[in-house]
């Protein structure tokens, strides 16, 4: 595939490396900011983008928004991997999907997708006698909390039982937890790639489901596979569920 990278930050470089290993070609970078030392042409105007098979964007909401607004012009399939911005970008993704295939996931790891499936299965079985908590850990440079993936896990639980609701801060709480609350905890430190844990705590027993990303390559791998999957798709909005 001929690929355009949305931005050339840490994840852009990871996607670049894996794409080149697999025989794909990087034909340019779309970035509203200067990308120093980028070995490819950098475009700031949607109208100047070269023809490509897909755009993979791991940048930030402002950059992603411009790519989506330009979909009516470039009509290139876009893999949106920008974290912590779904609410902000959803309307734009829906509009862009009228012109080209758009793929979105809060986490590009297929393992996390399977994790959400497991939660949808387990929640009805454990909702009566178990309390649920979600804990996520990331590196000290991550700017959003809770992570988009933690919210994705919460939504998976809520899709199985709509009575659950999140609690983000218990520092001022002076009463016992509600049976249907889900505590959302975020830790930031070091170079942790990404860890997500869902705890089902019952009477005298605990069930823990954990996903640990050991390399950023798993996210690049998922994005490349998504881009490949969009090649035979009509315009529309896609996730791991319908790709």
Active site residues: 138, 142
Yes or no: say if 211 and 196 are a contact pair by the CB < 8 Å rule.
yes
Distance of alpha carbon 177 from alpha carbon 32, whole angstroms: 45
Q: Quote the DSSP letter at residue 76.
A: -
- Spatial neighbors of 146 by CB under 8 A, at least 6 apart, are 134, 136, 168, 184, 185, 186
Q: Is 107 exposed, middle or buried (0-12, 13-18, 19+ CB in 10 A)?
A: buried
Q: What are phi and psi of 171, to 5 degrees?
A: -65, -25
**Residue 38: enclosing H or E segment and its boundaries?**
none
For residue 193, cis peptide bond before it (omega within 30 degrees of 0): no
């Amino acid at each position: 595939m001929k690929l355009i990278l949305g931005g050339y930050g840490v994840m852009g470089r990871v996607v670049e490396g894996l794409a080149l290993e697999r025989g794909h070609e990087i034909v340019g970078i779309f970035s509203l900011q200067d990308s120093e030392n980028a070995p490819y042409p950098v475009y700031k105007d949607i109208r100047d983008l070269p023809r490509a098979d897909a755009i993979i964007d791991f940048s930030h909401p402002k950059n992603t928004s411009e790519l989506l607004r330009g979909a009516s012009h470039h009509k290139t399939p876009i893999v949106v991997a920008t974290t912590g911005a779904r609410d902000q970008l959803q309307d734009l993704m829906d509009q862009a999907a009228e012109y080209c295939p758009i793929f979105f996931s809060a986490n590009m790891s297929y393992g996390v997708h399977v994790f959400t499936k497991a939660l949808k299965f387990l929640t009805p079985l454990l909702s009566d006698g178990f309390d649920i908590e979600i804990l996520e850990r990331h590196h000290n440079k991550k700017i959003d909390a809770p992570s988009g993936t933690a919210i994705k896990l919460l939504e998976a639980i809520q899709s199985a039982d709509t009575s659950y609701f999140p609690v983000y801060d218990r520092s001022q709480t002076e009463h016992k937890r509600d049976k249907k609350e889900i505590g959302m905890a975020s830790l930031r430190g070091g170079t942790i790639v990404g860890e997500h844990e869902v705890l089902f705590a019952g009477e005298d027993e605990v069930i823990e489901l954990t996903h640990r990303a050991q390399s950023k390559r798993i996210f690049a791998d998922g994005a490349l596979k998504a881009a490949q999957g969009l090649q035979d798709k009509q315009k529309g909005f896609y996730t791991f569920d319908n790709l």
